Chain A
């Protein structure tokens, strides 16, 4: 049974006649789009409550002052990585499961991810991968290669129909990849960063073997385990995203009496002619008379501290392509002294 035959046979093939196939498809499509639109919306509101420190009045203050567009934009900035990870995982696993179930007797119920893949247009899957390409940290970016190959079932045979040119092309591609990463891999060995070494070197090799159907015995456990795992991972990874602040962190110097200054570390909620409203980092809201504000600086939060000391051609491995390009536009990063002094 060739892959091409399977592809064509699937839509017309006999699906268990529990319900009308068109209706099922519509329902799957509905649940998918509800998740894609609804999850960010719910998250955005949930994180306002977290940002407010769980205080009802503070939450209401934030709701009153943080606009919907700001909220969504803020959410996308911090959660694009998580969102694209969820989508990429779904599409890659869904495609692997789909191609596997297609070989099995038609009475077998299609796994959820496979059904989602059935109803998602290809452009949406491509867009998710593009989003992942620009937002994932460079260290994890190689994982996108097997994911992409799996999602679109790109077997090495697609490169060339004859064996020799195919092998030569593969060797060329892998050689180019190795040449690009060689200095970073050497640094990883020097720094004994074994996981980083594995994350950078293994994925392209795995991509060679990841296409094709899985044995029938593996499909069902894999489907249920990965569905649960992806869900659990999303929830687990969503916690830090929910607690990532919506508003920028600043240190504001306030002169409450002549010669008496105080530094307040917190997020500026709003400013008007009368007062500046600060949500303090440790909790609590401060209304500072605008006339008393002497200085204000933007500060990084501790979560932004890098974990690795590896670079790929001067791009830090923990930057995404977008962030790395941004750093080329504004190369100097200045940490204001006030950020260190006030905690």
Chain B
């Protein structure tokens, strides 16, 4: 009898505890439902960034690099330009009426970002340690290697880096580029001009014999003169990561750009057509020897956005 009574009491205590705990848990759930999101959202970052409230976003692009950044009949076209359009639209600047294109020469990219002339630079900008001291990078959005393009008449004579060192060949490259440093490292003396386009013009005029630059830029000129030139695969070794340049004082903007690239990367990985893939297929895709896919962006922040609840599979 006593045993039954004590079991009964135990049971009552257990019920009381269970009811009390369930009520506490329900109350905690109610409070949790009302608190602010713990993670920063895309909108929070946008408010922090300096582009918030601007009527237009200023993007620095190249205008003389076919396939990457080119001004054709008054319209900016190319892979970099398409990527820039995607980023701008992600930041709330959709359509060319909300974008102010600023054409930048290779060597002007860093000063333009430092001087506040542009908000972003999407112009075959290699992410290097030295540059990261001066500007911030989001990316990479493309991995490229250094190549050499020679006129068709020299395609059998210039095949190796050794050939480039021979004094009878005049090698040309653009100033302020990573190629310039890479050539110097391999003891190749090069004529440094303002734009890669000048080198191509120079070769066609007979002033130079070869041009060295990123394979993307060279593929662009090859697409313009497919019969006159050939790209020679040379083992320069280092691959280059192209990133989007952001002013160093605006980490929020860098985070947003990296997040936008990551969004496209995830879409592509899930087999959905991504903005990156569309841009690639419309521009570089047909002209590169090997098919490429979007590289995974580095240092992507964790942000919440409205589409987070969408299925991932």
Q: Determine if B15 and A143 form an interchain contact, defined as CB atoms under 8 angstroms apart.
A: no
Closest to A331 in B: B311
In the complex with contacts A314-B312, A331-B311, A198-B25 CB distance below 8 A: yes
Q: Which of A304, A305, A318 has the most CB of B within 10 A?
A: A305
Q: Which of A304, A334, A336, A343 has the most CB of B within 10 A?
A: A343
Stretch at the interface among B32-40, B182-190, B195-203: B32-40
A96: interface (CB < 8 Å) = yes
Contacts of A336 in B (CB 8 A): 94
For the complex formed, measure the closest distance between the CB of A225 and the CB atoms of chain B, giving whole angstroms. Answer: 9
B277-313 contact mask (Cβ, 8 Å, vs A): 1 or 0: 0000000000000000000000000101111111111
With A and B bound together, what is the CA distance between A143 and B29 in angstroms?
9
Closest to A316 in B: B309
Contacts of B33 in A (CB 8 A): 137, 140
Stretch at the interface among B85-93, B112-120, B231-239: B85-93
In the complex with contacts A213-B15, A214-B15, A337-B94, A202-B25 CB distance below 8 A: yes
Q: Tell me the interface secondary structure of chain B in the complex.
A: helix
Residues 224-260 (chain A) with a chain B CB within 8 angstroms: 226, 229, 233, 236-237, 240
B24-50 contact mask (Cβ, 8 Å, vs A): 1 or 0: 011111101111111101110010000
B89-122 contact mask (Cβ, 8 Å, vs A): 1 or 0: 1111111011000000000000000000000000
In the complex with contacts A306-B37, A331-B310, A222-B305 CB distance below 8 A: no
For the complex formed, measure the closest distance between the CB of B160 and the CB atoms of chain A, giving whole angstroms. Answer: 49
- Cβ 8 A contact of A199, one of B17, B28, B38, B97: B28
With A and B bound together, what is the CA distance between A79 and B41 in angstroms?
25
For the complex formed, measure the closest distance between the CB of B55 and the CB atoms of chain A, giving whole angstroms. Answer: 9
B11: interface (CB < 8 Å) = yes
- Cβ 8 A contact of B307, one of A199, A222, A333: A333
Closest to B15 in A: A212
Contacts of B14 in A (CB 8 A): 209, 212
For the complex formed, measure the closest distance between the CB of A315 and the CB atoms of chain B, giving whole angstroms. Answer: 8
- Cβ 8 A contact of B308, one of A206, A214, A306, A332: A306
Instruction: Give the interface size bracket for B toward A.
Output: 35 or more
Residues 6-32 (chain B) with a chain A CB within 8 angstroms: 9, 11-19, 21-23, 25-30, 32
A150: interface (CB < 8 Å) = yes
Count contacts between A and B, CB distance < 8 Å.
141
Contacts of A214 in B (CB 8 A): 12, 15-16, 19
For the complex formed, measure the closest distance between the CB of A59 and the CB atoms of chain B, giving whole angstroms. Answer: 27
Residues 247-283 (chain B) with a chain A CB within 8 angstroms: 272
For the complex formed, measure the closest distance between the CB of A336 and the CB atoms of chain B, giving whole angstroms. Answer: 8
In the complex with contacts A237-B30, A300-B306, A340-B42, A150-B311 CB distance below 8 A: no
With A and B bound together, what is the CA distance between A332 and B309 in angstroms?
10
In the complex with contacts A222-B19, A340-B42, A89-B306 CB distance below 8 A: no
Seen from chain A, the residues whose Cβ lies within 8 Å of a Cβ on chain B are 89, 96, 137, 139-140, 143, 146-147, 150, 195, 198-199, 202-203, 206-215, 218, 222, 226, 229, 233, 236-237, 240, 261, 300, 302, 304-307, 309, 311, 314, 316, 318-319, 323, 327-328, 331-343
A-B contacts, 22 listed (Cβ < 8 Å): A96-B19, A139-B29, A198-B25, A199-B32, A206-B18, A206-B25, A210-B19, A215-B13, A233-B30, A236-B30, A237-B30, A306-B308, A307-B36, A307-B37, A307-B38, A309-B302, A314-B312, A319-B309, A327-B311, A337-B93, A340-B43, A343-B43
The 5 nearest A-B residue pairs measured at CB: A340-B92, A341-B92, A337-B94, A333-B307, A209-B18
Q: Known pairs A206-B21, A335-B305, A335-B307; list 4 more (Cβ under 8 Å).
A: A139-B29, A306-B308, A338-B94, A341-B92
